[in-house]
Structure formats: C-alpha cells, structure tokens
Structure 1
Amino acid sequence: MTTEIDSLEARAQLFHTPCGDGQISWRSWGDAPEVLLLLHGGSGSWRHWLRNIDALSARYRLIAADIPGLGESAMPVGAKDIYDVARPLAEGIATLLGPDRRYHLAGFSFGANVSGHLAALEGDHVRSVTVVGAASLGLPRPPLELLKVRDKEGAARRAANAENLARLMIRDRAKIDDTSLDIQEYNTQHARFRSRGFASGASLKEALEKVTAPINGIWGEMDTVAWPNVEARLDVLREIDPSLLSHVILGAGHWVAYEAPEEFNGALLRFLAEREASTGR
C-alpha cells in the first residue's frame, strides 16, 4: 500500500458492529459535531474516498463504512435485495451515534443505491442524501465489458486493473496512478459480495421515493455508467425532489471523487452547507 493510504489508515478511529457471522468495519476521521457518513462503490472499500477524507473531515466527523461483503466487512445474511445490505448498516450507525443521531449521507455507485435504502430505513435521522455516479434509476445502462483479473498475477494483473479502471472508473488515463491501482488491487482481493447484480432496474429510484431527506446528485460528465445522458439521471432525481442540488464535473468519469477531488469536495461541502442553512439544523 502507498504512504497516502497508510497515513489515513493510521489516523482513523476504527469501530466494529455486528453483521451476519462477523462485523462491519467503520472508520472515522475528525471530531466536528456534524456527521457525514460515506458509502463506497461496488467491489470497493472505504479507500474509494481516499482523496476526499482530509477535506471533508475538516468540516465534519467523517465516517466511512466498508459495506457488508466488501472490504473488511462480513457478508450480509441472505441479501435478496438492497435492504438486506442496508439493515446491518442502519443497526450499526444507530449503535455508533445513538438514538438522537442526525447525519448527512453520501454514496458512490453501488453505495449510492445502498445509501438510498439506508436513508429510507433511517427516516428523519438523515439530514441529506447525496448520490454520486448512481445507477438503478430505471434508465438504460450502457453495456460494459471488464477484463478478468483473478486469473492473473504480477505485471499482467496490474495492467488488467489499469485497463478496467480506464474502462469503468477514470476517464483520464493519466490519472490512473499507483495509488489508484493499489486501491483497485485491494478492493478486488477483498470483494465477496457481487454487487453488479443489483446495479440495473429502478431499486434506487424506488427507495428514494420513500426518503424524507433532501437529495443531492454529483456525476462526472463522462461517467461510463450514465453516458451519454447524465441529465436524464438528474431529471429522475428532480421528479422525486424538486429541491435537488446537483453538479456535473466536466471531463470526469465514474470515480469522480478520485479523478477530480477538489471540485468534488467543493461541490459536496457546498450542498451540505446549503441544506443545513435551509433547515436551520
């Protein structure tokens, strides 16, 4: 692992809550009274947020979970739908923050889907929910073929990881650096829950229709999952919440929080401040 990953790991507070036959791993940075919970993408881990943690934890107590079945977290029981993934997270955040909890929620890709379902379960405990590069909104998803990695080793495996990052995650190949490859390798090794089967359909849309919190959306303009029509995704969200706050980062791909971290961090912090100002809470 790179020094950048090691440094954030060393500064994190680590917590565990029950999940299936094991536990969910939670990491926290910062000590502000306001809380922001982050949920990473499919076949991922908290490391998806590597380039965002310092900026966001300067304003919030930042909590990043490894979603059940991914990273260090145990498999969810059954998992017939996304609520089966979200429920142990809801139980865990209640344990960590208590009955009077109030927190912002942001999720990337598959984590956006889980965030919608978690927000539906948590009701007024959630101050806002921000979906990043979300699918499962009832719209067509462009076909995408990724290289198989598990049968490769050494340089061939690293090259396959780099190609998959270029095809799905990062639009600008020059930004596929050693750190992103280290993250991809770790995530690939630790992914047991197959989230791609939950990426189609309209499950996020249906969950967000039950959410009481205001909704925000962030996409990369060239997001492979949404291209060529990011605006259609935003239209779905506006139908659910006419107060939608949205931002599209020009030239960026799916893993927009890593590819364009400064613009992403600024947009998310602006959204959360606006939501707090509008509610006074």
Structure 2
Amino acid sequence: MDTAQATQLIETFENSARRFETSWGDGRMVWRKWGEGRPVVLLHGGAGSWMHWIRNLGALSARQEVWVPDMPGFGDSDVPFEGKVDADGLAPLVRDGIRELLGDRRFALVGFSFGSLVATAIAAEPPAALDRLVLVSASALGLFQGPAPLQPLRGVTDPEERRRIVRFNLNAMMLHDPSTIDDLAILVQKKSAPRDRIKNRQLARTDYLVRTAPSWTRPAYGIWGRQDYAYRDQFPRLQEVVSGLGLREAAYIDGGHWLPFENPEQFNPLLQRMLDAAD
C-alpha cells in the first residue's frame, strides 16, 4: 500500500465514523463509532490512537457496533492531570465515558498493549454492563526485559532519513516482519506518536496484570504474538505466566507486538470468535 492509498484508507474510516465526545472536568475524550449491533470497545496502545485498529475496523464493524476512543492524552483527546498518569489513572475516565455513551447496554472490552492495561483496570472494578475482556499483546506480566533499541528522531529533518528511522523503530518494537511495514504503518505512526502526551509510563514494566487478574469477575481472553519483541526470548515463560491468569482462552499467533495490524488475517477471525463465545 502506497502513501496515497494509506491516506485514502484513513480518510475513508474517519469520514464514515460517527464522532462523539465525553468529558471530565475541563477535559474531553473523542470517540468514533462504526457499525451497528452488540457494542465492542477497542482501546489502542501507547503512542497510538484509533488508527491502531485500522486493519480491524472493517471486519469488526460488519458484525457489531465498534467504539474506539482516542484515550485521554492521545490523538484528538485532551491531556488529563498534566499528563502525569498511567493506565490505572486513565481507566476511570474511560469507564465513565463508556457509561455515558452506552448506558446499561452490555459490551465487550478489547485492549491492545497499553490499552490492555487500561482494560485490566476497568475489569477490576467493572461496570455492570461489561460482558467480557480481551487482552491483546498485554504486558505487565512481570517479564519486562528492557526497552526496544529505538533510534531517535529528534533533530532529524531529512524526510528520507526520518522515514528510515520510523521503519527501523517499527521493526524493532511493533512489527516483526519487515514486509508488513508499509506506508500505512508508517503513516499511522507518524500521525499518532507525536500526539502521545502521557509520558513516563511505568505500569507495563511491573506485574500489575498478574496482581489484578484475580479480581476479574467477567470472562477474559488473551491473544499474543509469537514474535513479540517483549517476549520472543522468553516465550515459554510467557505461556507459563499467562496460564495462571484464569483466562477462558489464551491464543498465540504469528506476529510481533502490533499484532492486529501485522496479522489481521488470523487476528480478526480469532477476536471475533472470542467476542461470539458463550458466557
């Protein structure tokens, strides 16, 4: 996919979405909605926005009502608490937004990466209407092995060099297969990452998910990539820790950290099956 096609795809989804806003104090959170039917809420990852789900929205919205916020401090949404907050601090704002938009309608909650930690915190004190939880590329499992070896963009002005660095960083942290780093991946990163204003997040480096899982009262599922940079060198240990979370199902498919983008052919039907599973 070239840049023109990538731009057109993003614009098509942007223009076809219904846009909503919820608020806290003086702040506002922007939501987008596609499709009709059972509600599912998708939470993006760090340095992301609604566009983290760009390769999943079409398939999911063909079957149900899909709600995607730019979480507070990301994308089009305002920054909460001067940006000094982590996933557990964002969770009440997202939970309140869901209640405002969906009322007592039952919904599924799906979180990717940083969004999975926000979803984890919401599930610990769930709205009555929460039906199920799906975690994608979830961290905070007590397995942190250090940051990915990223190259800095600060001070780089040459467009081609900036593009090379973005490709390198996506391959180092987000996408395992270099052939999947197309113009769409680069454009989503370029549009989303500069608008991440929630800095110094630390929760992903802890065992927060392991400690929180026993408090979940709703069915929970998980999906991880076999080549995720965070776990590929300790994959058996990942499986061991995940087996203790009490999930209804834990699935492992080929791909890196940004699994919904890298392998939508496997991810989309797998997620749909988890959303459709009986309670």
Scaled by the length of structure 2, the TM-score of the pair is 0.91
Task: Supply the RMSD in Å over aligned alpha carbons.
Answer: 1.7
Residue 89 of structure 1: which of 85, 89, 94 is its match?
Answer: 94
1:150-171 deviation digits (Å, cap 9, x = unpaired): 3323222221111100000111
Q: Which residue in 2 is equivalent to 1:200?
A: 205
Instruction: Provide the aligned length of Structure 1 versus Structure 2.
Output: 272
Q: Which region of structure 1 is more displaced relative to structure 2, 265-274 or 230-239?
A: 230-239
1:163-183 deviation digits (Å, cap 9, x = unpaired): 100000111111101111000
Q: Which residue in 1 is equivalent to 2:225?
A: 220
Residue 64 of structure 1: which of 56, 65, 68 is its match?
Answer: 68
Q: Distance in 2 between matches of 1:114 and 1:141?
A: 21
Shift of 1:262: 1.5
Q: Distance in 2 between matches of 1:198 and 1:151?
A: 29
Q: What amino acid does structure 2 have at the position aligned with 1:71?
A: G
Change (3 A) 1:139 1:185: same
Q: Where do 5+ consecutive residues of structure 2 fail to align?
A: 1-5
Q: Which region of structure 1 is more displaced relative to structure 2, 133-142 or 83-92?
A: 133-142
Q: Distance in 2 between matches of 1:51 and 1:64?
A: 13
Q: Distance in 1 between matches of 2:195 and 2:262?
A: 22
Q: Distance in 2 between matches of 1:87 and 1:77?
A: 13
Matches within 5 A, 1:183-194: 183-194=188-199
The answer to whether the 8 Å contact 1:215/1:237 transfers is no
Matches within 5 A, 1:117-266: 117-153=121-157, 154-194=159-199, 196-241=201-246, 243-250=247-254, 252-266=255-269
1:10 matches 2:15: yes
Change (3 A) 1:83 1:141: same
The answer to whether the 8 Å contact 1:217/1:234 transfers is no
Matches within 5 A, 1:65-80: 65-77=69-81, 79-80=84-85
Shift of 1:102: 1.4
Q: Which residue in 2 is equivalent to 1:273?
A: 276
Q: What amino acid does structure 2 have at the position aligned with 1:86?
A: A
Q: What amino acid does structure 2 have at the position aligned with 1:56?
A: L
The answer to whether the 8 Å contact 1:20/1:74 transfers is no
Shift of 1:3: 0.5
Q: Distance in 2 between matches of 1:195 and 1:186?
A: 20
Q: Which residue in 2 is equivalent to 1:39?
A: 43
Q: What amino acid does structure 2 have at the position aligned with 1:72?
A: D
